[in-house]
Amino acid sequence: MNFFSFHLMPWPHLPGPRQFLADNEAAWVTLSNAHYDPAQGAVLYERYLSELVRAEELGLDGVVVNEHHQNAYGLMPSPNLMAAALTRETSRVKICVLGNALPLYNPPTRVAEEMAMLDVMSGGRLIAGLVVGGGPEYYSTNVNPTEARARFREAVDLVLEAWTRPGPFAFDGRYYQLPYVNPWPRPLQQPHPPVWIPGLGSPGTITYCAENGFGYMGVAYYAPPESFVRQAAAYRHAVAEAGRRFDPELLGWLTTVYVADTDEQAVEEAAPHLAYFQGTLAAGFVGPGKVWMPPGYIDPPALVQFLGELRAMVEGPRPSDPAAALWRRSPLVGSPDTVRERLLAVVNELGVGTVLSLLQFGSLPADLTARSTALYAQEVVPYVRAHARPEALR
Amino acid sequence: MTVGTGPVRAVLSVGDDRVTVVRGGRGDPVVYLHGVCDIHAAFPGDAWTPFLARLAEHAEVVAPALPGYNASTGTDRLEDVEDYVWHLGDLWAALGLGRVDVVGHSLGGWLAAELALRRPELVRRLALVAPLGLHVPGLAVPPFFGAVAPRGVGGAGEARRLLFADPDGDPAGAALPDVMARDQQLLWFGGLAGAARLGWKAPHFQSRKLAARLGRIGVDTLVVCGDGDVLVPAVMARAWVDGLASARLVAVPGAGHCVALEAPEAVHEVVRFLAAGAGP
């Protein structure tokens, strides 16, 4: 079992959802960076990096950073800079960059180089996340979204070849043509660092991961749990179809986590910060406002389905019990007993061997983050580790 | 030639691709290359838009759907203007067309001009209605693909404000209603993906090379623009006419970018212009 601390490094100083959406269409692409205060930003980077370092001290297995551009949701346009800092501030945990958005780099051998550096600097602790990049990022970078998937697949091939094939060699693809591929350094892990790919449930992505031996990380934390149930089953099925052995650690699940002494206390303390996370910061790809989903980024039928689910989520009946509502949207909020049983159920029933725990979310302040993280690491993780049998689903 | 009939839809094989083509009307063939937005009104109900209905009184209208629109394929393979022009040339051949009049609206106007530039033997007279494609240095236009991004709730108001002079009028509401049925959503998003294939690069739908080449388009050209078009503002319309070898401008009062939907009576200018070139 892997328990990772996943950080988005969000900007916590915007108004709550109601006020925010009254004044803004989204927290992505067009929200003015005049809202960003560099002095406060310095304090935040220091704090957020410390929270990841704390995960190692508390016995978790890894830390996760990720790439987002031109938004208040995640302040790591270059996750590799954060990962580089973490190679020096940690000594044991895996460092997962989930990931670098390959189509946004030209040539993507830049990613092969930087990730090889991270792997060497960390003593072989890198997990290489490779991603297509979010819809809003195609607006922010002007890379053509109709090429996103094909460019991504070709770039993955290029990066893996750059890591494993002695250079120099020529690469002659549809999108990338390089006469001399020969990156120094090469990665320490052989043949290459593990590759994880995050997905929102697209069948194509799940099959692609299974066929290539890549980890599939379900990151649609805002979707109801049933959505991930389907994805996990599809991944296990696709692995079997590909004739591979199911390795639970390659099936990951991203979830917000908040632990307090009692369920009531946990819900009360987490609720406003989850609301800020899901209502303010995520505005731009979910919610009632503008959805920065560029044309051609996903197939029209998938887009129509996504928008339908979004509408149902925004307009649908709200459970009157706030705890039930939170369970639907963010299962792991509660007392240690509640969270350990819910998490164990997900692990054993879905075969999840990697839990990507979002221990800080939205505007959750440092003191609450620290207390919840400690409770999670000390009261929940050891219990789940002891009782987890995800491989039983093999 | 189809004689005096309403539109008939067919799907043609063109090379490796399929192309939806709607044709009907009476007279010499006129190819109509549609815009970013007017495709729904023409095709789902198999009824002409008012603009095409009137054009079909004077000509046999041949209206192909560009890649991504309707059932037309090719977006995975066709990458740029060059590819699209050769695709249109293949389409002409598949339709048995020679040198014909071409009416291009919006995105279709851009392609019609590029076709006339590279394949002059396929174009007799050229009517460009709110043509995209021209880059005018220093002239800022609103980002199309940002304005048409979907919303979780609340509809297509921003897209209507971008594309129509009267966003609350019937033509705007029919083309881009706040709540679209699934079929219309599929057409709209499929079409946008096709449009993005060609036009995503910012500023959207602009070629940096076209302006310097415009003078090489030798055929008589009519440029028709709405005076409320923010994507093809007056300065850009004037740049088309000034750059083309033989062109004249008609400004349509009270129309936005989707002239063919919002001011279908502009078709009379087009019909008169095409008629002036008729004959042997």
pLDDT tens for each residue of A21-43: 999 999 999 999 999 999 999 99
Contact A139 B146 (CB under 8 A): yes
Distance CA B120, CA A36 (A): 54
Average pLDDT over residues B190-214: 96
Average pLDDT over residues B140-169: 94
Contact A291 B146 (CB under 8 A): no
How would you classify the pairing of strands A332-334 and A2-6? Answer: unpaired
Question: Looking at this protein, which amino acid is placed at residue B108?
Answer: G
Which residues from chain A sit within 8 angstroms of residue B153, using beta carbons? Answer: 288, 311, 314-315
Q: How far is CA A22 from the centre of its chain?
A: 28
CA distance A298 to chain B (A): 9
Q: Is B272 on the interface with A (CB under 8 A)?
A: no
Which residues from chain B sit within 8 angstroms of residue A144, using beta carbons? Answer: 196-197, 200-201
Distance CA B130, CA B128 (A): 6
Dump pLDDT digits (tens) for B53-81.
999 999 999 999 999 999 999 999 999 99
Q: Tokens for B33?
A: 């290359």
Dump pLDDT digits (tens) for A275-291.
999 999 999 988 888 99
Average pLDDT over residues A149-171: 98
Q: How far is CA B181 from the centre of its chain?
A: 24
Q: Is B185 on the interface with A (CB under 8 A)?
A: yes
Chain A interface, mutation test: which of B151, B192, B206, most A Cβ atoms within 10 Å?
Answer: B151
SS (H, E, C) A313-373: HHHCCCCCCHHHHHHHHCCEEECHHHHHHHHHHHHHHHCCCEEEEECCCCCCCHHHHHHHH
Q: Is B196 on the interface with A (CB under 8 A)?
A: yes
Contact A311 B152 (CB under 8 A): yes
List CB contacts of B170: < 8 A, sequence separation 6 or more.
Answer: none
Per-residue model confidence (pLDDT) at position A28: 97
B5 pLDDT higher than 90 = no
CA distance B158 to chain A (A): 10
Between B2 and B128, residue with greater pLDDT: B128
> What residues form DSSP beta bridges with A64?
A6, A96
pLDDT band for B1, please (50, 70, 90 cuts).
very low
Find out whether A155 and A108 touch, Cβ atoms under 8 Å.
Answer: yes
Between A222 and B245, residue with greater pLDDT: B245
CA distance B81 to chain A (A): 15
Interface residues on A facing B, Cβ-Cβ cutoff 8 A: 29-30, 139, 142, 144-146, 150, 286-296, 300-301, 303-304, 307, 310-311, 314-315
Nearest CB partner across the interface for B154, out of A139, A288, A295: A288
Distance CA B17, CA B77 (A): 9
Nearest CB partner across the interface for A288, out of B68, B153, B189: B153
pLDDT band for B37, please (50, 70, 90 cuts).
confident
pTM of the model: 0.95
Chain A nearest-CA residue for B157: A290
A308 pLDDT higher than 60 = yes
Helix intervals (H) in chain B = 39-42, 50-55, 81-95, 107-118, 144-147, 157-163, 170-175, 182-199, 210-213, 234-243, 259-262, 267-276
pLDDT band for A325, please (50, 70, 90 cuts).
low
> What residues form DSSP beta bridges with B100?
B123
Dump pLDDT digits (tens) for A180-218.
999 999 999 999 999 999 998 888 999 999 999 999 999
Region for B4 from its dihedrals, namely left if φ exceeds 0, alpha if ψ lies in -120 to 50, beta otherwise: left
